A and B are shown apart, each in its own frame.
Chain A
Amino acid sequence: MSVFVIELAKLRALRSVWLAAGVLFVLPWIWSFAPDLPKVYGLALVSAYQMPTLSLLTVMQFVLPLLVSVSVAELIGAEVTARTLATAVLRPVTRSQILAAKLAVALIYPLLLLAILLVSSLLAGARFGLGAFYGGSGLGAGGFAGLGLTSPALALGQILRAYLLAWCSLLPVAALALLCAVWSLQTALATLATIVALAAMRLLVVFPGIRPLLLTSHLDLYQAAPSTVGSSAVLLAIYLVLFVAGCFYLFDRRDL
Chain B
Amino acid sequence: MTVEGTSESGIWVDRLAKRFGRRTVLEQISFTVQPGQVYALAGPNGSGKTTLIHCVCGLTFPTRGQVRLGGEDVHARSVAAHAKMGALVESPAAFYGHLSGRENLRLHARLAARGGLKVSEDRIREVFTLLELVAVADRPVSVYSLGQRQRLGVAAAILGHPQVLILDEPTSGLDPLGIGLIHRVLAELASEGCAVLLSTHHLREVASYASVVGILGAGRLIDQVDLKLRQRAYRFLVDQPAKAAAALQSLPGVRRAQTRSPYAVALLDSEQVIPGALRQLQSDGVAVFEVGPDVFDLYEYYRDRMEQVY
Binding site for B on A (CB under 8 A): 2-3, 6, 10, 13, 82-84, 86-95, 97, 253, 255-256
Contact partners of B111 in chain A: CB under 8 A: 3, 6, 88, 91-93
In the complex, how many residue pairs between chain A and chain B have their CB atoms under 8 Å apart?
71
Q: In the complex, given contacts A86-B90, A87-B94, A91-B114, what are 20 additional A-B residue pairs having Cβ atoms less than 8 angstroms apart?
A: A6-B107, A6-B110, A6-B111, A13-B98, A82-B96, A82-B97, A84-B94, A84-B96, A86-B59, A87-B90, A90-B57, A90-B58, A90-B87, A92-B80, A93-B114, A93-B115, A95-B78, A253-B61, A255-B54, A256-B59
Contact pattern, B 231-275, Cβ under 8 Å of A = 1, otherwise 0: 000000000000000000000000000000000000000000000
How far does the alpha carbon of A83 sit from the alpha carbon of B50 in the complex, in Å? 14
In the complex, B176 has a CB within 8 A of chain A: no
A90 touching B59 in the complex, CB below 8 Å, given contacts A3-B114, A83-B90, A255-B54: yes
In the complex, B112 has a CB within 8 A of chain A: yes
In the complex, B108 has a CB within 8 A of chain A: yes
A83 touches B114 (CB 8 A): no
Which residues 89-115 of B have a CB within 8 angstroms of A?
89-90, 94-98, 107-108, 110-115
**Considering only CB atoms and an 8 Å cut-off, how many residues of chain B contact the other chain?**
31
Query: Dominant SS at the A interface?
Result: helix
In the complex, B60 has a CB within 8 A of chain A: yes
How far does the alpha carbon of A255 sit from the alpha carbon of B19 in the complex, in Å? 12
A84 touches B110 (CB 8 A): no
Supply 25 A–B pairs (Cβ within 8 Å), ascending by A. A2-B113, A2-B114, A3-B111, A6-B107, A83-B90, A84-B95, A84-B96, A86-B59, A86-B94, A87-B95, A87-B156, A90-B57, A90-B82, A90-B85, A90-B87, A91-B115, A92-B82, A92-B112, A93-B79, A93-B115, A95-B78, A253-B61, A255-B59, A255-B61, A256-B60
In the complex, B117 has a CB within 8 A of chain A: yes
How far does the alpha carbon of A253 sit from the alpha carbon of B60 in the complex, in Å? 9
A142 to nearest B CB, angstroms? 50
Contact pattern, B 51-72, Cβ under 8 Å of A = 1, otherwise 0: 0001001111100000000000
